[in-house]
Amino acid sequence: MKMKTYRINFGILLGALLSMTFMFSACDDDDDTTVIPDAEIVTLNEVALTGANEVPPVNTQATGTFRGTYNMDTKVINYTITFQGITPTAMHFHRGAVGVAGPITIPINPGTDPYSSNNPYLSPLVGATPPLTATQEAELLAGEWYINIHSSQYPDGELRGQITR
């Protein structure tokens, strides 16, 4: 009887040890996890959009702001533009230093809102650019881009703000 009990206890112990060995060997220590670094995000300074910044300056009561970030990995600017006292007819990113009127770089398209048939630009306007080229990125980061909001009263631009970081 003693031998039988010993065999049963030994069998249970051996089974438990084998189960535990299998269980612990199946545990993963996560050494195979690939770490993806966070994208480098450049915060662009909040920019006041005013008529005084236009070239030449315009006299307007309209105002606005530009807030944005630039993702160095995707090459995309994510932005929020707010404005008051203006009915925009067009908005663009332009290339040009302070005091210089430059060419359109990227148009800013309004959202599609069925309630805005008379004015497709609504404030706040939230959007993103297509990916920038290497040249465009260098110009942006050097402070050579600005936002321009056009209106029927000032078709060449009523509000402007230089983008800096």
Q: Which residue has the tokens 């030994």?
A: 10
| pLDDT tens digits for range 23-71 | 555 555 555 555 556 779 999 999 999 999 999 999 999 999 999 999 9
* pLDDT at residue 39, as a whole number: 75
At residue 107 the predicted structure's pLDDT band, cuts being 50, 70 and 90, is: very high
Residue 22's pLDDT band, with cuts at 50, 70 and 90, is: low
**What are the pLDDT digits (tens) for 131-152?**
999 999 999 999 999 999 999 9
Domains of the chain in start order, with CATH, are: 41-163 (2.60.40)
Lowest mean pLDDT among 3-7, 35-39, 51-55, 78-82: 3-7
The answer to whether the beta carbons of residues 92 and 107 sit under 8 Å apart is yes
Pick from 118, 55, 44: nearest CA to 80: 44
pTM (two decimals): 0.72
Report residue 111's pLDDT band, with 50, 70 and 90 as the boundaries.
low
**What is the distance between the alpha carbons of residues 99 and 47, in angstroms, rounded to a whole number?**
15
Q: State the CB neighbour count (10 A cutoff) for residue 83.
A: 23
